[in-house]
């Protein structure tokens, strides 16, 4: 019998366990919640951080990449940031603590702390499987967030933006969102950092769309240059519901963003548009698992990646078509611009199909700027640096312009332009 010795704990693993022991008395929750937290940390202590030996973490070896975890109390001063869209109703969560929520017709917004303190959140605290590091850590440490409920038939008259803002230390938040039948809304999630202290954060958002709901959900991640961020969005789409999920990663030192979607009702449609803006020595991993679980569902995923310097990125996209999920229409594409000889990006699209009457496809490209396009612009008097910038912007703006909201398109284009200009 070949029994392999368990590797010693890394400094980051030990820091996470120590942080839980030190913070246990201050974490909200009744006896049920505390018992769940204890069990999850015990599971983490036994399993440790995932390494590249685990298939779903192959491109993000946390045992190697996560070298240190900041102390919970090593924080600076954080405050809410300007909303992405003017006039949006802002729900702030500062350093892991929910602030006052504005009143919005047909929207209920309650601090997640209340559900934790009463024990009502006990059923939500769990890991989805043995390799669910995000779920395990967030459930063990989560302290607050907002639970949102959009009423049946509502059409919110303005965007709603939840903000998780952090200035160093640790912050762990959760945003369960229920969308009523036929409701329509634009929701924005901001993961932001202020100051120069290193931060460690996790965040889980769950979206439950009832029949006929129509949601545009924009996630903008702008964590600090020394921050580690672990995010997870899990969505369930009922009959004839629609979810447009738009993700922009424009920050963070080490980022893992998971997207877990179930198209559970006939006529459901899921669209993912993602833009990764990577520079320096950052590492960003977007991992998606999409289940077409019933017949007559549709999805389309497009990722655009711009990679400078020695940055590394990965997109793992798995589409699963269940037995009986006939007439599924699913398409996935991942396109990357590598703008440095030392930059890296890995793409792993997967199809797992158990139905025979479907239309499914995927593709991936990795390239530098097209020199014919560059020559065309230079021949018309545009300097090379400006010509390169225009081509890079065009590469990502094509995706942004698929959104129907003009104000949202302008806001995202401005964000992308600021990031690119900061590199000049």
What is the C-alpha separation between 266 and 212, in angstroms, rounded?
Answer: 11
b or e along 117-154 (b: 16 or more beta carbons within 10 Å of the residue's beta carbon)? Answer: eebebbebbebeeeebbbbbbbbbbbbbbbbbbbbeeb
CA distance 361 to 56: 21
Do residues 148 and 158 touch, judged by C-beta distance below 8 A? no
Confidence of residue 1 (pLDDT cuts 50, 70, 90): very low
Q: What share of the chain is helix, strand, coil (3-state, %, to 5)?
A: 25, 40, 35
Q: What is the greatest pairwise CA distance in the chain?
A: 72
Residue 69: exposure state from Cβ atoms within 10 A (0-12, 13-18, ≥19)? buried
State the average pLDDT over residues 226-237: 98
What does the pLDDT average to over 217-237? 97
Phi, psi of 291 (to 5 degrees): -105, 120
Q: What is the pLDDT of residues 161-187, one digit of tens each?
A: 999 999 999 999 999 999 999 999 999
What is the Cα–Cα distance from 345 to 314, expressed in whole angstroms? 5
pTM comes to: 0.95
Percent of the chain topping pLDDT 90? 83
Per-residue pLDDT tens over the stretch 97-118: 999 999 999 999 999 999 999 9
Q: Dihedral through CA 397, CA 399, CA 403, CA 407, nearest 10?
A: -20
Q: In whole angstroms, what is the distance from residue 238 CA to residue 213 CA?
A: 8
Query: Judging by DSSP bridges, how do beta strands 144-150 and 107-111 pair with one another?
Result: antiparallel
Element (H, E) at 298: strand 298-307
């Amino acid at each position: 019998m070949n029994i392999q010795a368990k590797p010693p704990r890394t400094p980051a693993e030990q820091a996470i366990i120590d942080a839980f022991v030190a913070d246990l008395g201050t974490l909200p929750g009744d006896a049920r919640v505390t018992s769940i937290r204890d069990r999850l940390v015990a599971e983490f202590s036994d399993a440790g951080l995932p390494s590249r030996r685990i298939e779903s973490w192959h491109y993000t070896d946390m045992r190697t990449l996560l070298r240190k975890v900041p102390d919970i109390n090593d924080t600076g001063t954080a405050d809410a940031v300007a909303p992405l869209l003017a006039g949006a109703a802002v729900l702030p969560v500062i350093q892991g603590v929910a602030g006052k929520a504005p009143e919005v017709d047909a929207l209920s917004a309650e601090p997640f702390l209340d559900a934790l303190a009463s024990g009502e959140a006990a059923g939500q605290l769990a890991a989805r499987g043995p390799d669910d590091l995000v779920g395990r850590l967030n459930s063990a440490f989560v302290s607050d967030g907002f639970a949102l409920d959009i009423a049946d038939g509502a059409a919110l008259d303005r965007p709603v933006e939840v903000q998780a803002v952090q200035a160093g230390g640790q912050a762990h938040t959760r945003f369960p969102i229920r969308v009523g039948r036929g409701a329509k809304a634009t929701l924005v999630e901001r993961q932001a950092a202020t100051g120069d202290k290193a931060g460690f954060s996790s965040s889980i958002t769950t979206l439950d769309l009832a029949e006929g709901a129509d949601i545009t959900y924009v996630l903008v991640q702008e964590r600090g240059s020394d921050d580690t961020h672990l995010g997870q969005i899990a969505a369930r789409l009922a009959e004839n519901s629609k979810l447009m999920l738009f993700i922009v990663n424009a920050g963070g030192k080490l980022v893992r963003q998971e997207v877990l979607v179930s198209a559970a009702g006939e006529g459901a449609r899921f669209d993912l548009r993602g833009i990764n803006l990577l520079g320096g020595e950052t590492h960003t991993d977007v991992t998606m698992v999409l289940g077409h679980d019933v017949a007559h569902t549709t999805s389309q995923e497009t990722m655009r990646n711009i990679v400078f310097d020695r940055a590394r990125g990965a997109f793992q996209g798995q589409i699963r078509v269940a037995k009986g999920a006939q007439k599924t229409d699913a398409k996935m594409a991942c396109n990357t611009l590598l703008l440095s000889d030392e930059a890296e990006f890995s793409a792993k699209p997967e199809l797992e199909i158990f139905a025979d009457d479907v239309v499914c496809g995927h593709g991936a490209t990795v390239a530098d700027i097209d020199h014919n396009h560059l020559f065309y612009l230079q021949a018309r008097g545009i300097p090379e640096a400006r010509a390169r910038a225009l081509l890079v912007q065009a590469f990502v703006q094509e995706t942004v312009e698929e959104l129907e909201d003009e104000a949202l398109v302008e806001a995202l284009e401005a964000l992308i332009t600021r990031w690119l200009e900061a590199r000049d």
